[in-house]
């Protein structure tokens, strides 16, 4: 019955008539909220099933129930026709459910090979761990799926995309009957994505049921057999992919049509140079990067994973040290190279890693929003809380930040609203240049268009927006000019109308 990716020679007997996993009437409440209400989901062996929905639709809750992270309040879960009681990740793993979460679930200090076998170490005589077997098996597994990485490497030293692949490989190392992948491509390069799709198809061919969770419509159309859409914790539709179009899927997901994801309201960019970067190099990554960004312009930076976009973002705002080069904002040099000088000159970073670099999760919304501009609300060092809260309330209204009050702990907000709080932080401060790094990471379709509209508005108000992104549509939809990076170097800068997917990718490959 079991499927072992390590030993593909063995024939696998799968009874295709019985669903691999069947969830019926699943309900889950959190205090005061119904996260899932009577949701059904059936995964057939050998089929690739896509699960779609906006953030907050209940996808991750459903997956977490499957993985045993959360308990369910109502409903049943059956595996191969037999009801199962999943109370912990351990139970779920025992049932052959392998979940690849969006956030990297690897021990950074362990070797890649050890991480592959985290869920069950092969042991030799007397119960000692058989390290030789671990390495050999990991190497064999990587070879089989065409994944080229040193099994002995320290996991934390690998780029995120490779870590993601390690995690996917881990799901294959043990007997799996159901493999769940939550946004697996969010940090993969195009090559890796196609590698991943090959692997997924092979899993299906082996009789494994695959649940593929994604926002990306094109991916879903490419790989899925069936699509289930959730909205507001309820089941909306389950249909074969053939019955869907882009529009019908989006409509199912958000309950309305989005006319245009990238509404452009701003005028043409000005000619004033707001940010100039000359010969920037860092010890880690960047080599001799030079460019200018103009007021009112969105300058998009594209690059594959590891091209150095985030490094560039952090270096130009003064967060990471540089070894050589000069950065000027409105003609003033960023000296000393520190964030406090940067912010004073009017350049700030909207980080890609909201949780560890942006939000103060325990603190209320208003304190998060006003962090960069507290000085403006200070009288003799005392915070004028009334005007502070008034100002924040203003942004909450303008940006339609959905929060019950200004005193809500920011960690309880949805990703999109958190992002809006962080954008407010910079707008309250008043910047000339804003560097946005992957602005829509972890944000659903509906909220995405709002973020895009905000970015458009920022540029319209005369800011220079430097946008780092790995999403081609975002790049083409928003940017006035497009810069492409490869391995720490700037390989091309082109106006939007000269850019095509093809020449951008060519420059990104270098």
Binding positions for other proteins, 24-63, rule CB under 8 A: 30-35, 56
Task: Provide, rounded to whole angstroms, the least separation between the CB of residue 392 and other proteins.
Answer: 13
Q: In this chain, which stretch among 209-217, 295-303, 346-354, 490-498 interacts with other proteins, using CB under 8 A?
A: 346-354
Using CB under 8 A as the binding rule, the residues of this chain from 150 to 209 that contact other proteins are 151-154, 157
Nearer to other proteins, 16 or 90 (CB): 90
Task: Provide, rounded to whole angstroms, the least separation between the CB of residue 481 and other proteins.
Answer: 25
Per-residue interface string for the shown chain with other proteins, residues 416-445, x marking contact by CB under 8 A: -x-------x---x----------------
Tell me which of 143, 201, 344, 390 binds other proteins, using CB under 8 A. Answer: 344
In angstroms, rounded to a whole number, what is the distance separating the alpha carbons of residues 39 and 423? Answer: 35
Residue 287: which residues within 8 A CB-CB, separation 6 or more? 281, 488, 489
Provide the angle, in degrees to the nearest 10, between the axes of the packed helices 160-173 and 190-205. Answer: 10
Q: Which residues of 468-505 are buried (b: 16+ CB within 10 A; e: fewer)?
A: bbbbbebbbbbbbbbbbbbbbbbbbbbeeeebeeeebe
DSSP 160: H
**Residue 378 binds other proteins, judged by CB under 8 A:** yes
**Do 194 and 19 form a contact (C-beta atoms < 8 A)?**
no
Task: Provide, rounded to whole angstroms, the least separation between the CB of residue 418 and other proteins.
Answer: 11
Nearer to other proteins, 362 or 397 (CB): 362
**Do 469 and 302 form a contact (C-beta atoms < 8 A)?**
yes
**Residue 402 binds other proteins, judged by CB under 8 A:** yes
Q: In this chain, which stretch among 272-280, 301-309, 332-340, 495-503 interacts with other proteins, using CB under 8 A?
A: 332-340
Q: In this chain, which stretch among 4-12, 20-28, 379-387, 391-399 interacts with other proteins, using CB under 8 A?
A: 379-387
**Do 66 and 77 form a contact (C-beta atoms < 8 A)?**
yes
Tell me which of 46, 53, 308, 342 binds other proteins, using CB under 8 A. Answer: 342
Q: Which residues of 315-354 are buried (b: 16+ CB within 10 A; e: fewer)?
A: bbbbbbebeebebbbbeeebeebebebbbebbbbbbbbeb
Nearer to other proteins, 204 or 463 (CB): 463
Give how many residues touch other proteins by CB under 8 A: 89
Tell me which of 96, 233, 300, 442 binds other proteins, using CB under 8 A. Answer: 233
Residue 419: which residues within 8 A CB-CB, separation 6 or more? 350, 354, 439, 440, 443, 447, 451
In angstroms, rounded to a whole number, what is the distance separating the alpha carbons of residues 173 and 6? Answer: 6
**Residue 359 binds other proteins, judged by CB under 8 A:** yes
Using CB under 8 A as the binding rule, the residues of this chain from 246 to 265 that contact other proteins are none
Tell me which of 225, 338, 450, 487 binds other proteins, using CB under 8 A. Answer: 338
Task: Provide, rounded to whole angstroms, the least separation between the CB of residue 114 and other proteins.
Answer: 7
Task: Provide, rounded to whole angstroms, the least separation between the CB of residue 226 and other proteins.
Answer: 25
Using CB under 8 A as the binding rule, the residues of this chain from 470 to 509 that contact other proteins are none
- For residue 336, cis peptide bond before it (omega within 30 degrees of 0): yes
**Three-class DSSP category at 61:** helix
Using CB under 8 A as the binding rule, the residues of this chain from 110 to 149 that contact other proteins are 110-111, 113-114, 118-119, 121, 123, 127-129, 131-132, 134-136
**Do 422 and 359 form a contact (C-beta atoms < 8 A)?**
yes
Task: Provide, rounded to whole angstroms, the least separation between the CB of residue 404 and other proteins.
Answer: 4
Question: Helices H, strands E: what count in the chain?
Answer: 16, 22
400 Rama sector, left if φ>0, alpha if ψ -120 to 50, beta otherwise: left
Strands (DSSP E) contained in 80-185 are: 82-83, 97-100, 178-182
Using CB under 8 A as the binding rule, the residues of this chain from 65 to 104 that contact other proteins are 67, 69, 88-90, 93-94, 99, 101
**Residue 358 binds other proteins, judged by CB under 8 A:** yes
């Amino acid at each position: 019955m079991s499927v072992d990716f390590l030993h593909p020679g063995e024939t696998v007997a799968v009874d295709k008539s019985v669903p691999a996993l069947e969830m019926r009437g699943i309900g889950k409440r959190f205090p005061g909220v119904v996260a899932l209400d009577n949701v059904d989901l059936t995964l057939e062996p050998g089929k690739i099933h896509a699960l779609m929905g906006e953030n907050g639709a209940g996808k991750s809750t459903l997956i977490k129930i499957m993985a045993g992270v959360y308990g369910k309040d109502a409903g049943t879960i059956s595996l191969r026709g037999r009801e199962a009681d999943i109370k912990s990740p351990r139970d779920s793993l025992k049932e052959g459910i392998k979940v690849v979460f969006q956030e990297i679930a690897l021990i950074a200090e362990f070797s890649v090979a050890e991480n592959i076998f985290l869920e069950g170490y092969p042991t030799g005589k007397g119960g000692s761990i058989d390290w030789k077997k671990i390495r050999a098996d990991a190497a064999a597994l990587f070879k089989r799926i065409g994944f080229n990485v040193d099994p002995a490497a320290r996991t934390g030293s690998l780029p995120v995309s490779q870590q993601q692949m390690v995690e996917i490989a881990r799901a294959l190392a043990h007997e799996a009957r159901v493999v769940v992948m939550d946004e697996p491509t969010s940090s993969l390069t195009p090559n890796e994505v196609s590698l991943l799709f090959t692997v997924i198809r092979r899993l299906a061919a082996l009789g494994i049921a695959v649940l593929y969770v994604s926002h990306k419509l094109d991916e879903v159309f490419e790989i899925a057999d069936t699509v289930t859409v959730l909205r507001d914790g309820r089941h909306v539709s389950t249909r074969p992919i053939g019955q869907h179009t882009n529009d019908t899927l989006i409509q199912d997901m958000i309950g309305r049509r989005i006319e245009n994801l990238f509404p452009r309201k701003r005028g043409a960019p000005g000619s004033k140079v707001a940010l100039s970067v000359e010969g920037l190099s860092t010890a880690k990554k960047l080599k001799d990067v030079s460019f200018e960004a103009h007021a009112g312009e969105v300058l998009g930076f594209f690059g594959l994973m590891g091209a150095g976009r985030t490094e560039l973002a952090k270096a130009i705002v003064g967060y990471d040290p540089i070894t050589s080069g000069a950065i000027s904002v409105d003609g003033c040099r960023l000296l000393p190279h520190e964030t406090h000088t940067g912010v004073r000159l009017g350049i700030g970073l909207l980080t890609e890693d909201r949780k560890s670099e942006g939000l103060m999760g325990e603190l209320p919304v208003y304190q998060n929003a006003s962090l960069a501009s507290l000085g403006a609300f200070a009288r003799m060092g005392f915070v004028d809380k009334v005007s502070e809260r008034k100002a924040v309330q203003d942004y909450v209204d303008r940006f339609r930040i959905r929060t019950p009050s200004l005193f809500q702990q920011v960690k309880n907000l949805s990703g999109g609203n958190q992002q809006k709080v962080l954008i407010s932080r910079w707008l309250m401060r008043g910047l000339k240049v804003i560097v946005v790094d992957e602005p829509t990471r972890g944000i659903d379709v509906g909220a995405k268009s709002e973020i895009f509209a905000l970015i458009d508005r920022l540029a319209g108000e005369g800011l220079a927006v430097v946008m780092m992104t790995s999403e081609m549509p975002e790049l083409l939809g928003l940017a006035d000019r497009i810069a492409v990076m490869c391995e720490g170097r700037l390989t091309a800068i082109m106006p939007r109308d000269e850019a095509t997917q093809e020449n951008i990718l060519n420059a990104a490959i270098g």
